[in-house]
């Protein structure tokens, strides 16, 4: 029988910083985030992050971050592997403070230890909190699931690209290049 640790955001913020340990808050429950020591996870995160960052910076569309926490709703803080926030949402934001609401795009890279149901829950939480898209990339299956508000998830395989004509017009990254082995 597992024990749930419930806490407020204030209690979460008071947790000591510990090297190599990250936590999220899932509807008030403290959740340890699996470390990402495997090369494949970090490689995929860094590749999509690099491509997005270069595209967004060159067009001054906003900001791309890696592993930044977002307060999605009361009692829920998530740390997407990669996040894109549109420029207009950054006006007046103090970069020393936690970002409120979901990023416009949240990207999660699945690790072998991740529970697929937990990843779907995260996608739903991001969408509920205002994300315009969520990409969950499964490196070992060589698939990406694309979530958008009010739509069924779309599955893309390594022969296809990651793109979003509305959110990131002109951006396209072949999934095979993101998932290079």
Domain limits, the chain: 35-178
The pLDDT of residue 134 is above 60: yes
pLDDT for residue 28 is more than 70: yes
Partners of 6 in the β-ladder: 29
| pLDDT for res 83 | 98
Q: What is the mean pLDDT of residues 93-104?
A: 91
In the chain, pLDDT over 70 holds for what percent of residues? Answer: 94
Was domain 35-178 assigned CATH 3.90.1570.10? yes
Please tell me the least confidently modeled range out of 34-38, 46-50, 162-166. Answer: 34-38
Rounded mean pLDDT, 116-128: 95
pLDDT at 6: 81
3-state helix vs strand vs coil in the chain, percent to 5: 25, 35, 40
DSSP state of 15: S
User: Which residues neighbour 99 within 8 Å (Cβ) at sequence distance 6 or greater?
Assistant: 68, 69, 70, 71, 85, 93
Average pLDDT for residues 76-81, to the nearest whole number? 94
The answer to whether residue 181 scores a pLDDT higher than 70 is no
Residue 25's pLDDT band (cuts 50, 70, 90) = confident
Residue 20 binned pLDDT confidence (cut-offs 50, 70, 90)? low
């Amino acid at each position: 029988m597992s024990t749930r640790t419930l806490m407020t955001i204030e209690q979460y913020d008071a947790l000591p910083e510990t090297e190599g340990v990250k936590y999220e808050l899932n509807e008030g429950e403290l959740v340890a985030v699996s470390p990402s020591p495997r090369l494949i996870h970090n490689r995929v995160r860094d590749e999509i992050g690099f491509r997005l960052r270069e595209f967004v910076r060159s067009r001054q569309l906003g900001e791309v971050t890696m592993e930044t926490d977002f307060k999605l709703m009361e009692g829920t803080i998530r740390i997407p592997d990669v996040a894109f926030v549109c420029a207009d949402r950054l006006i007046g934001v103090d970069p020393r403070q936690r970002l409120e609401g979901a990023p416009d795009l949240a990207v999660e890279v699945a690790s072998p230890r991740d529970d697929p149901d937990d990843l779907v829950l995260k996608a739903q939480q991001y969408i509920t909190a205002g994300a315009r898209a969520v990409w969950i990339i499964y490196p070992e299956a060589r698939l990406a699931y694309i979530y958008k508000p009010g739509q069924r998830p779309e599955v893309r395989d390594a022969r296809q690209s990651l793109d979003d004509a509305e959110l990131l017009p002109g951006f396209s990254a072949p999934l095979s290049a993101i998932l290079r082995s």
